[in-house]
């Protein structure tokens, strides 16, 4: 793997059997308009090798534990998921990290589980859905959680959920609504001053920050008018987020993201397995061909090493053992994905 990009994927999901079973008991078979995908540690490692990913930081996707209306059941599921994730990472320390699941919208239980996961289980951070049963991050009443996360200097991965409104026929939530959901959370976090009051929390916005880079100045003017702050200060708060490239390293989106984000604040993400392997290859190809070598090295690894210091300076991890036919197939897949990416770009006329 020494010639591979050694990517650190900060946006990769896991679907443990205990979680799939809990979803099935609740009658949930899809998330964000996509079927809940198959997952196994072995499949994750194979996909990582295909993309040149050395380490993946695993997190739970929507609906999290929010589909459980009984707070004690949600807290118990979060605890079991975090125990599972800690055990999985312990078996693959060089290849897998994990972000703790918290039983939001129960702030007290979430603060307690965040403390346990970060202090006792060694979580690399926590994941929070942009909205939990309709309540958005950044709303009033969440300070007990922010205090715990700030004390630990935690990485907080913000992942979208389905909007608290009916989906529109013909528009799957993952395709458009997810971007708005992330943007709403980012807006409210900045509008209510959470980054300023809790400066040691490192927020990572998934999918390139939703609409944040593209609409940042429009949002800054609105927040400034509402709060009395200067638009420049608001923009600095928005630029202070970290952003991952999952499904977002296209020739249209990537330049905007890189132009807006602070240096060092763009991270590689794949969104596997909710984004299938072909999608991961497509957008990884866009990153590989769309930036200079220095920027590519930073996005692939160096920027994430700053967030997760335990990964910094580590020697290359050996890839999962693969027979020669499998390695040849992966090489052909990578070459085909790069060619396909070039072929489908729109013309300049």
pLDDT, residue 316, reads 82
* pLDDT tens per residue across span 32-81: 999 999 999 999 999 999 999 999 999 999 999 999 999 999 999 999 99
* pLDDT tens per residue across span 43-57: 999 999 999 999 999
Phi, psi of 61 (to 5 degrees): -95, 180
* Distances 341 to 140, 221, 246, 295, 338 between C-alpha atoms, Å: 44, 36, 15, 20, 5
**Strand pairing of 131-132 and 135-136?**
antiparallel
Token pair 């965040």 is found at: 114
- 3-class SS at 42? helix
- Residues with Cβ within 8 Å of 27's Cβ and at least 6 positions away in sequence, in order, are none
pLDDT, residue 161, reads 97
> Is it the case that residue 206 has pLDDT exceeding 60?
yes
pLDDT above 70 coverage of the chain, percent:
90
pLDDT, residue 319, reads 67
pLDDT, residue 150, reads 98
> Given pLDDT bands bounded at 50, 70 and 90, which one contains residue 345?
low
Whether the predicted model's global pTM rises above the 0.85 cut: yes
Using CA atoms, how far apart are residues 296 and 148, in angstroms rounded to an integer? 34
pLDDT, residue 324, reads 59
> Is it the case that residue 297 has pLDDT exceeding 50?
yes
Phi, psi of 267 (to 5 degrees): -125, 150
**Nearest Cα to Cα of residue 209 among 253, 166, 175, 179:** 179
pLDDT, residue 2, reads 42
* Distances 128 to 56, 58, 236 between C-alpha atoms, Å: 18, 13, 22
pLDDT, residue 1, reads 39
Instruction: Supply the mean pLDDT for the chain.
Output: 93
């Amino acid at each position: 793997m020494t010639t591979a990009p050694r990517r650190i994927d900060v946006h990769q999901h896991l679907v443990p059997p205990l979680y799939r079973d809990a979803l099935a008991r609740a009658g949930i078979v899809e998330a964000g308009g996509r079927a809940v995908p198959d997952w196994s540690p072995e499949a994750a490692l194979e996909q990582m090798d295909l993309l040149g990913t050395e380490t993946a930081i695993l997190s739970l996707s929507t609906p999290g534990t929010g589909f459980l209306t009984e707070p004690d059941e949600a807290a118990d599921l979060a605890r079991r998921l975090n125990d599972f994730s800690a055990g999985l990472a312990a078996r693959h320390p060089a290849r897998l990290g994990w972000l703790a699941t918290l039983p939001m919208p129960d702030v007290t239980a979430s603060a307690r589980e965040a403390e346990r996961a970060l202090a006792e289980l060694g979580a690399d951070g926590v994941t929070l859905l942009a909205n939990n049963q309709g309540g958005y991050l950044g709303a009033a009443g969440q300070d007990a959680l922010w205090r715990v996360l700030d004390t630990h200097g935690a990485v907080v991965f913000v992942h979208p959920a389905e909007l608290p409104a009916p989906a529109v026929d013909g528009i799957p939530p993952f395709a458009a609504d997810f971007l708005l959901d992330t943007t709403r959370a980012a807006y409210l976090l900045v509008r209510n001053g959470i980054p300023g009051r809790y400066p040691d929390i490192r927020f990572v916005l998934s999918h390139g920050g939703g609409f944040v880079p593209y609409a940042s100045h429009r949002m800054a003017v609105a927040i400034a008018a509402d709060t009395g702050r200067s638009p420049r200060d608001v923009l600095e708060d928005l630029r202070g987020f970290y952003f991952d490239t999952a499904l977002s390293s296209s020739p249209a989106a990537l330049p905007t993201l890189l132009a807006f984000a602070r240096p060092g604040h763009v991270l590689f993400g794949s969104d596997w397995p909710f984004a299938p392997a072909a999608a991961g290859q497509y957008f990884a190809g866009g990153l590989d061909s769309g930036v200079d070598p220095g920027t590519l090295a930073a996005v692939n690894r160096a920027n994430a090493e700053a967030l997760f210091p335990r990964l910094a300076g580590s020697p290359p991890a050996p890839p999962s053992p693969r027979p020669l036919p499998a390695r040849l197939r992966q090489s052909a897949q990578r070459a085909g994905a790069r060619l396909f990416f070039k072929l489908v770009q729109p013309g300049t006329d």
